[in-house]
Homo-oligomer: A and B are copies of this chain.
């Protein structure tokens, strides 16, 4: 299905918040509050974005996350790749899951044109483009952070 994963959508919201620039570094719990998204989920997203090199992290007291480059240099392709792995319409079939190189199996051969077209499309839109059209709301999670913390 050609659908955005919920994580990728959340990631945009989180990155948009970090792009506002009022604070240089924000912790996972800060971002959870500001974006109104569940903290465990936000934490997971931040880790993925850090591993992908989109964010840098600082441990310890007053630690947190910050962008490694300016928002106009962060593309939708970067974000989706960070959250869901390489952008490819087909994850190579069955047993030969070590098929990473394109042009090696029939599937990749057949769909490589399409994959390239999609990647190019996603690389052409940046975080700035996404921020200009809308403020900061995301697909709502099934249970929000607030509801969850209302423990009797």
Q: Check if A134 sits within 8 Å of B110, measured CB to CB.
A: yes
Size class of the A contact interface (CB-based, 8 Å): 35 or more
A106 touches B137 (CB 8 A): yes
CA of A110 to CA of B130, assembled, Å: 5
0/1 string, A89-123, CB within 8 A of B gives 1: 11101100000000000110111111001101110
**Chain B residues with CB below 8 A from A9, complex form:** 90
Query: Is A1 at the interface (CB under 8 A from chain B)?
Result: yes
Q: Within the assembled complex, what's the spacing in Å between the Cα atoms of A88 and B114?
A: 16
Cβ of A43 < 8 Å from any Cβ of B? no
- CB-CB contacts of A134-146 with B at 8 A, as 1s and 0s? 1101011000000
